[in-house]
Amino acid sequence: MTVLVIGAGALGSYFGGKLIQEGVPVTFLVRSGRYQQIQKDGLVVHSVHGDFHLHPPILQRISSASHYDVVFLAVKSYHLPNLWDTLDQLVTQGSVIIPLLNGVAHMDELLARYGPEHVLGGICYTEATLLPSGVVEQTSPMQELVVGSVTGNLPANIAFLGEAFARQGVQFTESPNIMTDMWIKYIFLVVFSAATTVFKNSIGEILADEHSASWLSYALEETITVARSLQVALPEDIHSRIWNRIQSLPLSMTSSMFKDSQRGYPLEVEHLQGYLTRQAWTYHVQIPRMETAYWALRPLALGQNIAKMA
């Protein structure tokens, strides 16, 4: 099996590096700034599960002769429009794409363009950050990947990947209900990222204030209502499940969106809060709190330090 990881940020570097350590042939497709970092210093990961320093094959573009069995798409959502030509070529050559993007909007686009035979759903759970130095810091005991097909039929070679990840201590789950699982994570993330970024505060400070905690709970209910309008098969107790998860988070925790906003980086607003708002408009669902959050975040979407993201 050959694997291509598009993007060598925190997630791509970490999970791609895990496969390399199992002897899986992994190549990274990266932008110019990251290419120069890896070419100079290698792929450096500091992790609570053990550090590693690798020198993997890296590319800035794929050749017409390239073939990869599996492609992990590990980029920010705002980079996806620039990758269509590359993905078209990879799918034509028989690749299966496993996107690890936040949210669910990208699945609509990928499935419409390539079909379920070439696109699987993917979710990852861990905490990792790409530092300006190019070093990845992975700080969470959790290291999990969930993969599934919208048709329920996974390619046989996915089991091989799961075994390779498992030998590296990564929990790998084959989900029979991947879109539901993706929506559950999305509901949590879209509300959590909105609250921490709009209020510019940690989850502990938000929950400690009666009014902001109430806003958060109602925003969660609004988001669930949109999902149900789209006929997403959610558990009956989904509100309490996610609310309990929010309350169990470390008090100092903020979202990656909040951290990116503090650094002046582009934000995934359109892919997260924007997608939710547009779906609410389509299905005539009132979401005053989340729609207000969207309009508040929208001016920050492009960021101020775009050059740092090269």
Q: Could you read off the pLDDT of 226-250 as tens digits, one per residue?
A: 999 999 999 999 999 999 999 999 9
Q: Where are the domains of the chain?
A: 3-175, 181-307
> Exposed, middle or buried by CB within 10 Å (0-12, 13-18, 19+), for 218?
middle
Specify the pairing of strand 128-130 against strand 136-138. antiparallel
12-42 pLDDT per residue, tens: 999 999 999 999 999 999 999 999 999 999 9
CA-wise closest residue to 20 among 42, 41, 35? 42
Predicted pLDDT of residue 310 = 43
Does the pLDDT at position 306 exceed 90? no
Confidence of residue 64 (pLDDT cuts 50, 70, 90): confident
Specify the pairing of strand 121-125 against strand 144-148. antiparallel
Lowest mean pLDDT among 194-203, 249-258, 278-287: 249-258
Looking at per-residue pLDDT, the higher value among 140 and 232 belongs to 232
Asked, colleague to colleague, whether 3-175 and 181-307 share their fold, the answer is: no
| Residues 267 and 303: beta-carbon distance below 8 Å | yes
Does the pLDDT at position 123 exceed 50? yes
Give the Cα separation of 56 and 4 in Å (integer).
11
Confidence of residue 85 (pLDDT cuts 50, 70, 90): very high
Give the Cα separation of 245 and 238 in Å (integer).
11
Inter-helix orientation angle 288-297/275-282, to 10°: 140
Give the Cα separation of 150 and 96 in Å (integer).
13
Confidence of residue 308 (pLDDT cuts 50, 70, 90): very low
Indicate the pTM of the whole model: 0.93
CA-wise closest residue to 48 among 182, 189, 142? 142
Residue with tokens 């009132």: 286
Predicted pLDDT of residue 305 = 64
| Residues 60 and 39: beta-carbon distance below 8 Å | no
Residue 258: alpha-carbon gap to chain centroid: 15
Give the Cα separation of 145 and 268 in Å (integer).
21
289-304 pLDDT per residue, tens: 999 999 999 999 998 7
Q: Which fold has domain 181-307?
A: N-(1-d-carboxylethyl)-l-norvaline Dehydrogenase; domain 2 (1.10.1040)
Residue with tokens 């099996």: 1
Mean pLDDT, rounded, of the chain: 95
| % of residues, the chain, pLDDT over 90 | 91
175-227 pLDDT per residue, tens: 999 999 999 999 999 999 999 999 999 999 999 999 999 999 999 999 999 99
- Tell me the CATH number of domain 3-175, given options 3.50.50.60, 3.30.70.920, 3.40.190.10, 3.40.50.720: 3.40.50.720
Predicted pLDDT of residue 309 = 43
Token reading at 92:
């034509």
List residues with catalytic annotation: 185
Give the Cα separation of 310 and 308 in Å (integer).
6
Segment 122-139 mean pLDDT: 93
